[in-house]
Amino acid sequence: MRILVAADSLSLPRPHRINNFNPVTENELAVHYHETYGSLIDRKLRQNNPELYIEVINRGQRSCTIKSVAEQFADHLFFFQPDVIVLQVGIVDLWYREHLGGKQYVNVHEFSVYYSRILEFIKMRPQVKLAVVGILPTSVKMDTRYSGINKQVTLYNQVLKKGADNNQVFFIDMEPDLNPKQPQQYLLPDDHHLNKAGNQLVAGKLLSLLQAIIYNVAGFQHYQQNHFDEAYSNFVSSYESFSDYADNLYNLICLAFDRNEFLLLKQIFDKIQKHNLHHTELNDLIHTVREKANL
């Protein structure tokens, strides 16, 4: 599995004071490369899946906006040929810039247009997954200084979330995890960049999705070889890792029905309804299974 990270500086190592960093006297960083979420998922996936080829390519850039990513996305997708692209942008785009008279680098309409271009690209490679990391809020202090900036975070996140189908494009919501009154839990003192714990948080959420994808692929391979017990076990593991993955849900429901696992089916159906998942083929399958199993 090759994973490419297309992101801003939140994906990169960072010194304690980047504007005053002295390479002669400073060796200790606030976040070292091995502590970034890209490096963390690389090591953890290798550890959990020693039989697989795992490669994480971090193409993060400082001050990167969604416009920059959209302009480079063809390279990311067609030339690096990843299995998964992690997209993590937005805070640079939406931040109010004093040198621009309070304007943003990329307003929400432009943000939506560039995101649509990225989605058009990803549809050209249906087998490639896009994991979109949501924008984290900032502190109450910053929200006061830049009035309403956290409302902008929510607005831009809504754009990102609308593009997700939980089958090829996944949105990883970060807003609920950060309390603007206690930003230092996950952010550096600039109330913007991820600290070590913040990188661990993002890595953990990405790992849940990535491991679910791996389990689902393994399950499908076992199914093609008529190893139905192994296939079922992998589909269950995928579901336990990331329960909203539509392709795996379809596979798991089919096998669970064949095995008369009606209790599990009911749990799955209840969760799908609770999470308000919409996927045409999956919804059609659920309707059919409900009728046949009288669930």
- 271 plus 168 within the same structural domain: no
Q: What is the mean pLDDT of residues 133-147?
A: 96
- 183 plus 43 within the same structural domain: yes
User: Does 280 have pLDDT greater than 90?
Assistant: no
When computed from its CA atoms, the radius of gyration of the chain, rounded to whole angstroms, is 21
219 assigned to some structural domain: no
260 assigned to some structural domain: yes
216: which strand partners? none
- 116 plus 247 within the same structural domain: no
Q: What pLDDT score was predicted for residue 294?
A: 84
221: which strand partners? none
CA atoms within 13 A on the CB side of 108: 11
Using a 10 angstrom Cβ sphere, with 0-12 exposed, 13-18 middle and 19 or more buried, the burial of residue 122 is buried
User: Does 8 have pLDDT greater than 90?
Assistant: yes
User: Does 295 have pLDDT greater than 90?
Assistant: no
Q: What is the mean pLDDT of residues 133-142?
A: 97
Q: Which among 196, 213, 247 is the end of a domain?
A: 196
Q: What is the mean pLDDT of the chain?
A: 96
Residues of the chain with pLDDT > 90, as a percent, come to: 88
Can you tell me the distance from the alpha carbon of 229 to that of 239, in angstroms, rounded to the nearest whole number? 15
Q: Which domain holds residue 246?
A: 225-293
6 assigned to some structural domain: yes
- 44 plus 186 within the same structural domain: yes
Q: Which among 181, 196, 211 is the end of a domain?
A: 196
Type of residue numbered 280? T
Q: What pLDDT score was predicted for residue 113?
A: 98
- 180 plus 273 within the same structural domain: no
User: Does 239 have pLDDT greater than 90?
Assistant: yes
pTM: 0.95
Cα 136 to chain centroid, rounded: 12
- 152 plus 230 within the same structural domain: no
- 120 plus 240 within the same structural domain: no
Q: Label residue 33 left, alpha or beta by phi (over 0 means left) and psi (-120 to 50 means alpha).
A: alpha
User: Does 276 have pLDDT greater than 90?
Assistant: no
Residues of the chain with pLDDT > 70, as a percent, come to: 100
Q: What pLDDT score was predicted for residue 180?
A: 96
Tokens of 10: 């939140």
CB 153 within 8 A of CB 138: yes
pLDDT band at 20 (very low <50, low <70, confident <90, very high): confident
- The H-or-E segment that residue 191 falls in is none
User: Does 188 have pLDDT greater than 90?
Assistant: yes
113 assigned to some structural domain: yes
For the stretch 52-78, pLDDT in tens is 999 999 999 999 999 999 999 999 999
- 156 plus 287 within the same structural domain: no
End-to-end, the C-alpha distance of the chain in Å comes to 38
Q: What pLDDT score was predicted for residue 204?
A: 98
284 assigned to some structural domain: yes
State how many domains the chain has: 2
Q: Which among 196, 216, 240 is the end of a domain?
A: 196
250 assigned to some structural domain: yes
Q: What pLDDT score was predicted for residue 19?
A: 81
268 assigned to some structural domain: yes
